[in-house]
Amino acid sequence: MKVSKPILSVVSLMFSAIIVYGTALVTRLFKGHFLLENGLSNFGYILLTLDIAVPIILYILIANGIYKNHIFEVISFAGLFILLVFFPVYFSSVSENSNMNLVESKRFIIVILVMVVLFVATSHFAVNDKKLEESILLKRKREEKSRY
């Protein structure tokens, strides 16, 4: 799928904001309070949004060459994994803590950042390893046909 890098970057930022603020609102409906003090106006929610968006945006901007064709697949898989893991982690954190203090919120933000980086890297290798393997097999078939 051909989409420009700036558009993918903006979509990634919007997706991460929807994940963070949507999860916070849904959790507020079920548990009655937010994870971070002062609700959605807490700066920690902006940091969580950037934690999710920045590794994906960096991947979008850095991917070139043969990896450029598979950017959309990589960020789609990473986004799906992030969504599937972020919601339960956030929900269980709200269940454990009524409000996080500054030190606990920094730890939570760092853990989410590491999780997103690992998901992007794992998605990159999963998507591109399969594609590279297919291209190597196709190249071998072409070489065999050219020999005969």
3-state SS track over 14-61: HHHHHHHHHHHHHHHHHHCCCCECCHHHCHHHHHHHHHHHHHHHHHHH
Per the listing, tokens 């598979």 go with 70
In the prediction, which pLDDT does 126 show? 86
Taking only the tens place, the pLDDT of each residue in 57-104 is: 999 999 887 777 788 888 999 999 999 999 898 888 888 876 777 777
Both structure tokens of 91: 């929900």
Both structure tokens of 2: 């051909």
Domain count, the chain: 1
Taking only the tens place, the pLDDT of each residue in 97-120 is: 767 777 778 888 899 999 999 999
Q: For residue 69, what are the domain limits? A: 5-147
CA-closest candidate to residue 127, choices 61, 79, 76? 76
Q: Using alpha carbons only, what angle is made at residue 128 by residues 8 and 109, rounded to the nearest 5 degrees?
A: 55
Residue 141 has pLDDT above 80, yes or no: no
> How many whole angstroms separate alpha carbon 30 and alpha carbon 90?
12
In the prediction, which pLDDT does 132 show? 67
